[in-house]
Amino acid sequence: MVFSMFNGSKLFRLAASTSIAALLLGAGVAVANPAVYGAPGYGGGYYQQQSPLGGGLIEALVGDAPGPVRYAAPPAPHAYPGARQTAAYAPQPLETQRAIDPMYMRAEVDYDGSERPGTIVVDTPNKFLYYVNGRGRATRYGIGVGRPGFEWSGVKTISRKAEWPDWTPPAEMLARRPDLPRHMEGGPANPLGARAMYLGSSLYRIHGTNEPHTIGQNVSSGCIRMMNDDVVDLYNRTPVGTRVIVR
């Protein structure tokens, strides 16, 4: 009855809530503190701020206390730093990943070549790229190489490096494939993949791919393609000026 007489007074409600909270605390009943709950972290969820009144009896008596406040959680970080955040940059389907022959997975192997540590050696016939670690060891990566008529061999150096490179097909490629885009921005949908290392003044590159199932095949126009995880690993090991031997 007393509450209904003063129902319109926010001041009274505040005083009443304070008195009731004091009584409850004196009786050993806990009153909730403000707390964050919900789904913290990344992934597009929300942080939710609990009412400072704690809900329950006090909030029912006081009435129009503010409801929970929702804060947008920060977006999930991209798999590769520097990538543009667009819906087209989706990860490769699991079915595509499973199509890769296990023999082409990255591995630390024995190596008996005479090249200096830090050299890249491309074994075109066997579809492997070796990064020479020294002391008889190398890191071996599976690769895709030039299709018939586009194979080549020689010695080059890495002249430039790029993260999530844009792709502009050369004129000779457009002459063969007029259906290709004239330009494509970098990202997982781009044929150059996550990283590119340009070889000398040629049009050839060591680069990632948006078609990982082609690793182990003769499919390119002369470039050396790698799985995106592998090309990122190699990219981080190799400075501009690295010697590349293609056999």
Mean model confidence pLDDT for the chain: 73
DSSP label of 12: H
Q: Is 78 a catalytic residue?
A: no
pLDDT tier at 75 (50, 70, 90 boundaries)?
very low
Task: Check residue 163 and give its pLDDT.
Answer: 98
Q: Is 213 a catalytic residue?
A: no
Specify the residue for token string 């503010």. 66
Furthest C-alpha separation in the chain: 96
Euclidean distance between CA atoms 87 and 164, whole angstroms:
15
Q: What CATH fold (topology level) applies to the domain 94-246?
A: L,D-transpeptidase catalytic domain-like (2.40.440)
Q: Which of 78, 183, 213, 223 is catalytic?
A: 223
Euclidean distance between CA atoms 221 and 29, whole angstroms:
75
Question: Would strands 205-207 and 137-142 be described as parallel, antiparallel, or unpaired?
Answer: unpaired
Type and span of the H or E element at 38? strand 36-38
Q: How far apart are the first and last CA of the chain?
A: 94
Task: Check residue 208 and give its pLDDT.
Answer: 98
Alpha-carbon 206 to chain mean position: 20
Here the tokens at position 244 are 């590349």
The model carries a pTM of 0.61
- Could you state, in order of their start, the residue ranges of all structural domains in the chain? 2-72, 94-246
Say whether pLDDT at 207 is over 50: yes
pLDDT tens by residue, 88-121: 334 444 444 557 899 999 999 999 999 999 999 9
Here the tokens at position 144 are 């895709």
Least confident of 53-62, 86-95, 131-140, 146-155: 86-95
Q: Which of 78, 183, 207, 213 is catalytic?
A: 207
Type and span of the H or E element at 173? helix 171-176
Euclidean distance between CA atoms 67 and 224, whole angstroms:
58
Positive/negative CA dihedral, 160, 161, 162, 166: positive
Task: Check residue 196 and give its pLDDT.
Answer: 98
Average pLDDT on 30-44 reads: 36
- Produce one character per residue of 112-134: b if its CB has 16 or more CB atoms within 10 Å, e if not: eeeeeeebbbbebeebbbbbbee
pLDDT tens by residue, 116-135: 999 999 999 999 999 999 99
